[in-house]
Structures are given as structure tokens and as C-alpha cells.
A and B are shown apart, each in its own frame.
Chain A
Amino acid sequence: MSVKTLMINGQMVSASEDQTLLDVLRENGIELPTLCHLDGLTPIGACRLCLVELAGSNKLHPACMTRITEGMEVTTHSERLVKYRRMILELLFAERNHFCSICVINGQCDLQQMGYDVGMDHVRFEYQCPAVEVDASHERFIMDHNRCVLCTRCVRVCHEMEGAHTRDVMGRGGSSRIITDLNQLWGKSGSCTGCGKCVQVCPTGALFEKGRSAAEVVKQRDFLVYIKTAREKHLWIQ
């Protein structure tokens, strides 16, 4: 594994070849907001919050999916990047029905925290207020599409970690929905193992456990890295 040197916001930094740019940034204490990314899941570059500027390219690149190269020059917080991140969050807040004060995850929500982080004190876009469903048919969990940001973390964790592929995406554009099996009620799903991994990885209050108050919600996500490391290094064989 060779080591590369790159320039991040004017600072020289070294990194190993197999790291993504996002890994390197986080290792060096540079925080970028991310929604679709989660350590342990395949990156998809969909939320566009971790976009950075690379010298010599007129396009913006998602840090989570960018491989590092020798001499790469990265800018993470230019004026326009900060503005774009804020606008993307505004678009998300206006897209469905995100009302923190009455949300089961108030105070523990990634989306809410990101809003604070980028200093988003109001939304300039018209709220779309779509009429979306809540699926409370499962014995232990609830899926509230009002809070869903379509990050597809639940889809990927179910497919990649649990191996059940209970979840997928249906429809397109703003009418996209996370579905259970072939758009069935969660409680009637034949493939769901009830492991609750999707609930743990959900960044918002779209997936939550029944009967818990906001203060009691703790999202446990470290398991992903354990499973991934064990699989990649074949730890169970020893």
C-alpha cells in the first residue's frame, strides 16, 4: 500500500492509497456533513453534501467516493461550497414534513444537527408538504415517510449487512419511496428478519422503535464497521 501526499485547504497531509478522500478529511479533523454516507456501507454519492473542489477540475467531487491521488489539491469550505451545502439542506427540509419539535428523534437527528452545523436558521423555499404515509404495521418498528430523506442507508444495510434485501426504492423523483418487499406493509413482510439494523442507521426519525421517547433514542452504528472488518479480514476463520 503506497502512501500519497495531498494538499487539503493549503495543508500538506499524507494518506494511504486505499482511503477515500472523506476518510482522509475526517482523519485530519476536517468535518463535512454527510447523509447518505455511513462507514461500513457502500458509498453512493447521492446527498451531495460532501462535495469538494479539486484543483484542475471544473466539477465538484463527492469526497465519499473520490479516490486520492498524489498531489491532489482539495478545498473543502470555499464560499460556494458552504452555500451549496446550506441550500441542499434547505431543499431537504422543504421536501417532506420535517418538524423537529414533534419528532421522536428530536435532539438525536443527523439532519437536525447538520442544520445547526451549517447555520441554517430558516428555509427560503416553499414547503412542499406532500401527503405521505406512516407504516406502523410492524410489531416493534415504525416507518414514517414524512421524515425520510431517501438516503437509502436502510436499503443498503438490509442488502449488504443483513442480506435480506427487504427494502428497496420505488417510483422516481419526488415521489420515490422506500418500500418493504414489493411495496407491502412492513408487518406483513416475508423477508424482514426484524434485526432492526435499518432503524439504527436511519439518520432521521423516519425509522424508529415503538414506545421510546426522544430522550431514550440511541442510534448504535458501530456494528457496521465490526461486521465489515470481520468480513474483509475473514476474522471468523481464525
Chain B
Amino acid sequence: MTGEELLAAAEKEQAARRQAKYCVAVCAAAGCHSLGSTSIREIFQKAVNEAGLGEQILLYGTGCLGLCHAGPLVEIQRYREDSWERWLYHHVNEGMVAEIVRHHLGGDQPLAQFLYPLDDPFFRSQYKIVLENAGRINPERLEDYIGADGYSALWKAVSEMTPMDVVREVTQSGLRGRGGGGYPTGLKWSTVAKSKGSRKFVVCNADEGDPGAFMDRSILEGDPHRILEGMALAAYAIGAEQGYIYVRGEYPMAISRLKTAIRQAEKVQLLGNRILESAFNFRVDLRIGAGAFVCGEETALIGSIEGNRGTPRPRPPFPAEKGLWDMPTLINNVETFANVPAIVRNGGQWFSRIGTEKSKGTKVFALAGKIVHTGLIEVPMGISLRQVIFDIGGGIPDGKQFKAAQTGGPSGGCIPLPHLDLPIDYESLIKVGSMMGSGGLIVMDETSCMVDVARFFMQFCMDESCGKCVPCRAGTAQIYRILEKISSGTASLHDLELMEELCDLLKHTSLCGLGQTAPNPVVSTLRYFREEYLAHIEQKTCPAGVCRMGAPDAACGSAEPVQEKENCL
């Protein structure tokens, strides 16, 4: 494919969409898929054909529409007088399909009773860059992505920019790593670009493992070509010819869509040799993770791609200098790569106008836990946590009181009520003892016990510790033991003291980020909810009524089934 052909294909796709009477996008993300959206799509197609509208209606599956709690979702679009009209149907079932086809598609009468209001704060307060193509494209069609200006950034880069221009554009945008650390992306790119090596590699970290997080999965499932384009731009900028996407095996749909996308792109020379008739070559291969959380840590991920046991190694040397097979390697998260095409297309300056002074752009969050609108959102940096939870998220269900929000998964911390007006950016979240993380946001209400929450995350870290370094391997197990004692009312204040000492040890002596940040949920719940810990220890009561008091060992003998019976010896 040449650049001219790319532009022509884009024109053609856009014209086809504009000419269609209606575009019907059925959500095909994993959430809606599990609610039966795939069969809804088939039923839709059948009903459309039967109504004789097959020629005029463009029907396709699309990436996550965001409002996961109200699935299956169907978005209907129409181009009229230079703008797009949109309607969103929620909780779509078989019966509704027939009516939508008859009245809306056939008779131009939207069914107000089934519609979700698009002026709801859920939609109004969002700002979409990474997720801009949700609803607009079929992730399994390359032409759709091209129609949405896809690969135009790559064309721009290979035809009129030098590799350093691309690095400069990304640096100027102020984009920071979306995997959690927030390391300036442009700086990382220029380091790898300047590192010497006979080969260089680009790696996309898609080993998303935080409990309650599904941002990367949704991006991969909804817009796989965007990641490929972002990686190709990175490869062009740093001088790499080979890329790897390390995606976890638990994401079969993401894997299959990535495979499709790679095959499609290779077929038309958007990947492979002489991309868009330029001298730039770039291939991408998939590597499937086998279920270890620690492989999301970059040095463990490198080990895993090389075919070794996925355990971290001390840095320096950093992967930018010595990564895959000791060659300079650029590792970025899915969402980071997803931002790049838009940055190159619209310019770094455009991107740097969004967000706050130090945190630019937008952030995708996966809302989970005790919140009305469970789902996927993208908001500009600097928006307050209160807006995210109460405006976009719709607040706490069943009239309950908000207690805390956990960001950053098992490496992050909780943010209590007094800090709700905090702007969401990298620095502010660290200041209150949490972190941005990859974007999981778990909301807890008054019925959540903070000791129990800390225990859950510590158990996760204990199970996921690779076992290489002593503080993480043995320390997480000891902290978990103490938390178990506290939540069963059998701990003493001395145990609490010991636990705090252990948290300090892990933070400072663990080999990798997993161990260093494992104590964060404990430290932050202790910081804001110390009285809850004390109630468990001194009064032997759980204020939220979650923990069962009584020695865990003694409970084994009782007739009542105990939650963790298998742990008893």
C-alpha cells in the first residue's frame, strides 16, 4: 500500500459511513459479549435483512462503549447535515431488536423508553483520545481503522518526519507512561534511540493484572490497530525492526483480535518490509503470558519473552540500555502506545494542552466495586476524584455512604473521603499515599472493612510474589499472617508494630516493584483507617461487620462452614 492508496481507502470508508442510512454499532467488548451481544448482533442482522434494510444499514461489532453495567449496548449513528446524530440503547434483548429495527431504523422513530440519555454526565465529562474509535469502528476490519484516520500518523512519520522529529513530538506532548510509573515517554524514547546496539526492540506490555482493571484489555479488543500503529511509530523513532506484544493468556479475545490485526496489516504492507513504500521495516509478534502477575514488571517480562522463568532482575542496567537479549529495548504500556498515533497526527502541542501542568492528556479508568456505573471511562488529567465517582460514576448504589477508593491496584493505596476533591494526576495521588497505577479504580462503601481490603491485596501479592527475593517472598506471607490475626480478633498491638516494621522492610529492600509496593494497601489503610485496625485488635469487633471474630484455627472444629477452612491444618 502506498500513502496515496491509504488516503483513498480512508476517503472511501468515510463516504460509505456517511451515505449509510444508519450505522449500528453493537458493543463487542468482553463485558457485553458475556451478556450475549454477539447473538444480539446476529439477530439484528437478520431483522435488518428481513426488513429489507440490508443495503442501507451498516451493522458491525465495536469496542467497549463504556457503560458496562447496562450492557448489551447498541449505538445507532446517522450522518446528517455535517454532523453525527447518536442514540444509545441499553440492556438490549431480542424483543427490543425487532422494535428498534421496525421503528427506529425503518420508521425513523427512536424508541425513547429504551434509550440511555447521551447528555448524562457519564458521557459529558469524558474526553476521548485513546477510546475515540469505540462505537466508530469494527476492531476486526482494517478498513474501518483506516477510515478513522488510522495509519495516517505512520504515513506522516515515514513520509515527512525524521525519527528524531517523532521523538521530539512525543517529548513535547508531555505524555507519561500509563502503566503506572509515569515516566516521561519522550525521555524513554530518546534514551533508547541514543542507546547503541546491533538490534533494538519495541515491546508492548499488555500483561494487565491488577484486580478490577480492564483498560488495556478493552483497548486491545476495541482498537488493536491503534496499538500496532503506536508501536510502529515507536519503532521508527528508535530504530527498531522487531516488536513484541506481551499479552496475558487470560485475554483470548484480545489475542485473537491482535492476531487478526497483525495479519491484516502485514497483508497491505502496513507492517513488514518497506512499510508504505518507505525504507522502514517493522514486524510484530505476540507473546502470550502464562498467568504470572510479576511478568508485568519489565525485567521479568523480558525474561519471559526470552523463554526463561519470569523473574525480575535488579536495575540498572535498565532495559533502555540492556533489554531483550541485552539489546536496547523500549517497553511501554498499551495505553501509552494508544496515545501515540493521535499525538503524531495532531502534534505534541495539541496533546500538551489537555490535562494539568505535569500530567498531560487523558487517563482511562476502569470503574469497579460499589459504584453505579461500572465501566470504562476516559477523563482528562486533573479532573477531581469526586467528579469521576459521583458525576461520571453515578455515585454509590443503594444509598450507601462512600468510604474510600482504591487506585493503583495492589501497588496503590486507598483515598478516603477528605481527599475526594483531589485532582487526578501522578503527583497528587502519590502525595496522599496512593498512585495512578494502570487505571483500576475500585470504590468501597461503608460495608467494606479496610482490614479485609488490605488482607485481600496482601494475599494477592503473596500469591503473585515470584519467590526470588527474600523480603517479598517471606515478608508478604508474614504480613498476611498478621492481617489474618487482626481480622480474626486475635492480634495484639505488638503484632501491629511488627507489621509496620515489615512494611518498611519490604518497601526498601524488595528487588522489584511488586515487593516494594506490596505494603502500600496496608500502609494507606493504616494511615486513614487506623481506628478500624484498633477496633479489631482492642475491642475485637469489625466496625463494618465483615470480619468474623474468633481464632481461625479454633473455628475449624465448629459445625458451621468457615470461609477459609482449607487453610486450617
A residues with a Cβ closer than 8 A to B are 44-48, 51, 59-62, 65, 80, 84, 87-88, 91-92, 94-95, 124-126, 128, 149-150, 168-169, 171-176
- For the complex with contacts A60-B508, A128-B477, 19 further pairs of A-B residues with Cβ separation under 8 Å are A44-B468, A45-B469, A48-B510, A59-B508, A87-B502, A87-B505, A91-B475, A92-B474, A124-B498, A128-B474, A149-B470, A168-B309, A172-B292, A172-B466, A173-B465, A173-B476, A175-B467, A176-B466, A176-B467
Inter-chain contact B474/A169, CB cutoff 8 Å:
no
Most chain-B CB neighbours within 10 Å: which of A46, A95, A150, A176? A46
Contacts of B314 in A (CB 8 A): 45, 61-62, 65
From B294, B475, B478, give the contact of A126 (CB < 8 A).
B478
Q: Contacts A95-B474, A173-B467, A174-B473; is A46 near B481 (CB within 8 Å)?
A: no
Set of chain B residues within 8 Å of A80, measured between Cβ atoms:
508
**In the complex with contacts A45-B511, A46-B511, A172-B474 CB distance below 8 A:** no
Residues of A close to B474: CB separation below 8 A:
91-92, 94-95, 128, 174
11 A–B contacts from the bound complex (CB under 8 Å): A44-B313, A45-B511, A47-B469, A48-B470, A80-B508, A95-B477, A125-B498, A126-B481, A173-B466, A173-B467, A176-B467
Partner of B467, one of A48, A87, A172: A172
B463 within 8 A of A: yes
In the bound complex, do residue A46 and residue B468 qualify as a contact, i.e. CB atoms below 8 Å apart?
A: yes
Candidates A46, A62, A174, A176; contact of B462 at CB < 8 Å = A174
CB-CB < 8 A to A91: which residues of B?
A: 470-471, 474-475, 478
Most chain A CB inside 10 Å of its own CB: which residue of B294, B309, B470: B470
On whether the beta carbons of A46 and B464 are closer than 8 Å, the reply is: no
- Roughly how many angstroms separate A126 CA and B490 CA in the complex, as a whole number? 14
Q: Give chain B residues whose Cβ lies under 8 Å from the Cβ of A47.
A: 469-470
Per the CB 8 Å criterion, the residue count for chain B at the interface is 30
Q: Give the complex CA separation of A65 and B509 in angstroms.
A: 14
Complex Cα distance A128/B480, Å?
12
Q: What separation, in Å, do the CA atoms of A148 and B502 have in the docked complex? A: 22
**A124, closest chain B residue (CB):** B498
CA distance A175 to B464 in the complex (A): 11
CA distance A162 to B501 in the complex (A): 41
Q: Are B465 and A172 in contact (CB under 8 A)?
A: yes
Please name all residues of chain B whose beta carbon is closer than 8 Å to the beta carbon of A62 when the two chains form the complex.
314
A87 to B506, CA, bound (A): 10
Nearest residue (CB) in A for B308 is A168
A46 to B472, CA, bound (A): 10
Contact call B471/A88, Cβ cutoff below 8 A: yes
Which residues from chain B contact A95 at a C-beta distance below 8 Å?
A: 473-474, 477
Q: Smallest Cβ distance from A237 to chain B, in angstroms?
A: 26
- In contact, A169 and B467 (Cβ under 8 angstroms): yes
Please provide the chain B residues from 277 to 314 with a CB less than 8 Å away from any CB of chain A in the complex.
292, 294, 309, 313-314
Which A residues are CB-close (under 8 A) to B475? 91
A106 to B294, CA, bound (A): 36
Is A46 touching B509 in the complex (CB atoms < 8 A)?
no
Nearest-CB residue, chain A, relative to B465: A173
* Bound Cα distance from A43 to B230, whole angstroms: 36
Contacts of A51 in B (CB 8 A): 509
> Within the complex, what minimum Cβ distance (angstroms) separates A20 from chain B?
12
Which of A84, A169, A176 meets B505, CB within 8 Å? A84
A46-B470 in contact (CB<8A): yes
Chain B residues, Cβ within 8 Å of A65? 314
Please state if A48 and B464 are interface contacts (CB–CB under 8 Å).
no
Q: How far is the CB of A130 from chain B (nearest CB, A)?
A: 10
Q: Is the CB of B464 within 8 A of A172?
A: yes
A94 contacts B473, CB within 8 Å?
A: no
Q: How far is the CA of A48 from the CA of B473 in the complex (A)?
A: 12
User: Could you tell me the distance between the alpha carbons of A91 and B511 in the complex, rounded to whole angstroms?
Assistant: 15
Residues of B within 8 A of A174 (CB): 462, 465, 467, 473-474, 477
Pick from A61, A80, A91 the residue with the most CB of B within 10 Å.
A91
